[in-house]
Amino acid sequence: MSDFQSIHSDENLNAAIVQGTGNDELASPMHGQPQTPIRILRLPDVIERVGLKRASIYLHIAHGNFPKQITLGERAVGWIESEIDAWLAARISARGKQEGKSV
C-alpha cells in the first residue's frame, strides 16, 4: 500500500468515526462506554443560541462569566457546544432561584 493510500484510508476511518453509523454516540476506546462527539460552534451559532451579540460575548469572557473560545486555526475560533449548553442551563437555573426570593 502506498503512503497516499495509507493516508487516504486513515482519513476514511476518521470520517467514519466522526460521522458514526447513524448513531449519535461513539464508543470510547478506553472504557467501552458511549461517548457523545464534541461539537464546535462558530460565533454566528453562539450568537444565535445565546441571544447575545459579539461584543457582549467577548465582554462576558473577559469577566470570566462565559465559556472561553478555543483556537481552531490561525484566524478561527469556536466554542464547545456542551459548555455553551451548560452556561445556558446555569442561567436558567439562576432565574428559577431568583424567582423564588421575595422582593
**What angle separates helix 81-100 from helix 43-50, to the nearest 10 degrees?**
20
- Asked if the model's pLDDT at residue 61 lies above 70, the reply is yes
Q: 3 or 31: which carries more pLDDT confidence?
A: 31
For the chain, which residues make up each domain, given as ranges? 1-37, 38-103
Strands (E), the chain: 26-27, 34-35, 40-41, 70-73, 76-80
pLDDT value of residue 88: 97
Q: Which positions ≥6 away from 77 have C-beta within 8 Å?
A: 42, 43, 69, 70, 71
Element (DSSP H or E) covering residue 52: none
CATH of 38-103, one of 1.10.238, 1.10.3470, 3.30.300, 1.20.1630: 1.10.238
DSSP 25: -
The pLDDT tens digits of the residues spanning 67-101 come to 999 999 999 999 999 999 999 999 999 987 877 66
The pLDDT tens digits of the residues spanning 18-58 come to 434 344 445 445 566 678 899 999 999 999 999 999 999 99
Strand, coil or helix: 74: coil
Residue 60: pLDDT band (50, 70, 90) is: very high
pLDDT value of residue 52: 98
Q: What is the pTM of this model?
A: 0.63
